[in-house]
Structure 1
Amino acid sequence: MTVRTDTDFPLNDSLAKRNALLLAFAQAMGGALASIVIATGPLVGYMMLSQDKSLATLPVSAMVLGTAFGTLPAGMIMRRFGRRAGFMGASLLSAVSGLVASFAVFQDSFVLFVLACWAGGFAGAFVQQYRFAAADTATDAFKPKAISWVLAGGVLAGVVGPQTVIFTKDLFDPIMFAGTYLAQAGLSLLAFFVVSFLRIPRPPKQTAKSGGRPMGEIMKQPRFLVAVACGICSYALMSLVMTATPLAMIGCGFSENQAALGIQWHVIAMFGPSFFTGNLIARFGKETIVSVGLLLLAGCSAVALMGIELAHFWTALVLLGLGWNFGFIGATAMLTDTYRPEERNMVQATNDFLVFGFVAAASFSSGALLSFFGWETINMLVFPFVVLCFALLGWLWMIERKPAVV
């Protein structure tokens, strides 16, 4: 079935597949910023700070906080000017943030470096909308696959980001990582080029005027509440453990390259299953896939608590990435059941604002928890939140099995 919009674009799966492929390539370039900051931000902070080393993870927290602050503006900007214009502008902002971050490393300015990471995170809020943009022109049957296709682009980002770190960290020796952020700016410009070819319609004029239901009404839906809660826990728990891992590895005597490679395998595990996650959702259901993700997150912490050898760190990071993939993609697919076409930008932006607000809190607390309480405490915190999500999924299952009241 083909639906026409005010921009005369067909809303069908042929267009959705084209957009999803373009967004997957853009994800590979634009998504590299996050893995670069995660792999190097805490180390740059540790080198710059002479006193309070517990603030070393602040650059990662600033990036995530920038994403949280950018989610609502991203929704409003793209609602008014369209997806393509928003994505292109964000790519330019990401390039500027890379240039500023490199300058900050040269100047040994921690404050400026943190601000650059915040700006990169703000641009990253638009990258987070790639998965929703791919679903905009898809039928209900293809939406989970479109989302997973885009996130599959993160597999390449998982290689590009850490490998960029490895090959550029000593480019301006003895000033480590200055060249890395120059390279990140170049990757963002490549993403700008790719997203310029997108063709995504705006909502029809007649529905855009109506504005849809009030956000408060949408948020009262049990499925919305559970989808957002599972998305928050999947992403925030992943951020909590991942942000602390490079510092924990360095503290255990491993090298920067070993930490970067660990993050590389983690990011590959985050996005690699996306090639088939959509098919798994279609076959087994969204809630089942979310549940598998939660079990994998718990498995990550279980492995991390078994020891501090390199194999423990890398295995835990792989399980952490897999758990995020199933948990977050499944929760995102659940969220698409809760809104109408004219409500999509508002609901998607609200979801990301809530998710990344909690993710920012998790990453910010990660450094302090590691510094004051240790690696074991960080991993122990995963289990109660996994249990909470299972309880919420059980509550949703009972509600939706109740017969409708006539």
Structure 2
Amino acid sequence: ARVRSRGASSASTPLEAHEMREHWWESETAGTTFMRTRSVSNPPAPVGHFQATSSQWYHITIVMMAYATYYTLMSGNLTVASLAAENLGAKKLATMPIVAMFIGAVLFVVPASLTMKRLGRRRSFILGGLAAVFSGATAFVALKLDSFALFLVAGLLLGIFDGFADYLRFAAAETVAASFQGHAVSIALCGGAVCSVLGPELARIATSANSESEGFMIYYLAATGVGLFFCCVSSLMQATPPCLKGSGDLQESLLAASRDSKTREAQSALESVDDGTPEAEMSSIASSTSVRLDLPPRSLRGIVTTPECLTAVVCGMAAQWCMVLMMTGLPLAMVDAYNYSFQRYALTIQIHLLGMFVPGLCTGYLADR
């Protein structure tokens, strides 16, 4: 391939000559010519400044609704599961349904990722939502039949749903530019912050007018409907492109993407890059949703041995350990040991969940700083 430039000779006026610089790439093997134009008077927006398009705001809003539904189910189950298991006569094993839920999440978090690679985010989230539907129905039948083993199966099914729904944050981030990804995740977390109180509130309403055993059955019947709503919300998501793979020469990858892509977005992304474009700006362009980079993947060992990954894993383990220890033992301590009402306990869980999510609303801004 050979490169040539055209400057003022291609412009009809001195102003056009000042504002326009054209570069042409001619591929002798492919027999094609590519042009990109960059305006000096209207340069690309700097990294860190991004305004989402209407379609991107639509996608973020849908993900936020899915997040709200997801945490409505999870918070409600954490509120009810231990006490419902205790009503089944398994007092010493009352925390096992929550254990089964986390086991299901751990076992299916990798298969969920592989499923999304094959089917895409939207179909995979619908599939995970069906697991939540079956979980609620199974829990209802288990309480009706007084079967603790079947109730454990319901917890495992909800864990499968958790394994899929945990990727919602990536669905929010991957449709926007790199400079806006932290803000997109924070906006999506608004759904969890606002609706994390709905799960305990739903359980409180179900038990207020009925006995606890009947109230728990009513709750899981309602949870089945919430799972169906999650499937409906997931079906409204936009199809997302394949994830970027690895790192490499971004400029060459953009040229390859332009040759292979027939979309206007990929060509416009290429037009904003020239030989003097900073690497950070090229990274922002490369992370746009319209360009698929064909770069060599990184090994799993190379990823998990980085200090950033190890720090995230250790901090995540510590945070999860503290949260699960408190939320698992709290219902048995408050309701059984200290004779608090279920309504008081549900209010305590709601306050705890607000403490979990409200700080997450500003994490995108903190990450930028």
Q: Same fold (TM over 0.5)?
A: yes
Give 3-state SS (helix, strand or coil) of 1:90's partner: helix
* Pairing partner for 2:207 from 162, 169, 173: 169
Offset at residue 96 of structure 1 (A): 1.4
Deviations 1:312-351 (A, max 9, x none): xxxxxxxxxxxxxxxxxxxxxxxxxxxxxxxxxxxxxxxx
Change (3 A) 1:176 1:200: same
Contact 1:95–1:185 at 8 Å: present in 2 too? yes
Offset at residue 202 of structure 1 (A): 2.6
Contact 2:75–2:197 at 8 Å: present in 1 too? no
Offset at residue 38 of structure 1 (A): 0.8
**1:203 equivalenced with 2:242 (yes/no):** yes
Q: Distance in 2 between matches of 1:282 and 1:208?
A: 25
Instruction: Report what 2:60 is aligned to.
Output: 20
How many aligned residue pairs are there? 273
Q: Distance in 2 between matches of 1:233 and 1:204?
A: 29
* Pairing partner for 2:323 from 208, 214, 238: 238
Q: Distance in 2 between matches of 1:204 and 1:65?
A: 27
Residue segments in structure 2 that go unaligned for 5+ positions in a row: 1-43, 245-256, 258-291
Contact 1:62–1:118 at 8 Å: present in 2 too? yes
Normalized per residue, which structure has more strand?
A: 2
Q: Distance in 1 between matches of 2:85 and 2:333?
A: 14
Give 3-state SS (helix, strand or coil) of 1:175's partner: helix
What is the RMSD computed on CA atoms of the aligned residues?
Answer: 2.4
Contact 2:88–2:146 at 8 Å: present in 1 too? yes
Q: Distance in 1 between matches of 2:147 and 2:134?
A: 17
Instruction: Report what 1:333 is aligned to.
Output: none
The structure number with the bigger radius of gyration is: 2
Instruction: Report what 2:26 is aligned to.
Output: none
Q: Which moved more, 1:237-246 or 1:167-176?
A: 167-176
Q: Distance in 1 between matches of 2:108 and 2:351?
A: 28
Residue segments in structure 1 that go unaligned for 5+ positions in a row: 3-10, 284-406
Change (3 A) 1:281 1:175: same
Deviations 1:191-241 (A, max 9, x none): 111111111423279868766111011111111111121122112221111
Change (3 A) 1:204 1:73: closer
Q: Which moved more, 1:14-23 or 1:199-208?
A: 199-208
Normalized per residue, which structure has more helix?
A: 1
Instruction: Report what 2:360 is aligned to.
Output: 274
Offset at residue 41 of structure 1 (A): 0.7
Q: Distance in 2 between matches of 1:70 and 1:232?
A: 18
Instruction: Report what 1:143 is aligned to.
Output: 181
Instruction: State TM-score, norm by structure 1.
Output: 0.63
**1:39 equivalenced with 2:79 (yes/no):** yes
Higher relative contact order (CA 8 A, sep 6+): 1
Offset at residue 171 of structure 1 (A): 6.6
Offset at residue 111 of structure 1 (A): 0.7
Contact 1:147–1:278 at 8 Å: present in 2 too? yes
Instruction: State TM-score, norm by structure 2.
Output: 0.69
Letter in 1 for 2:366: L
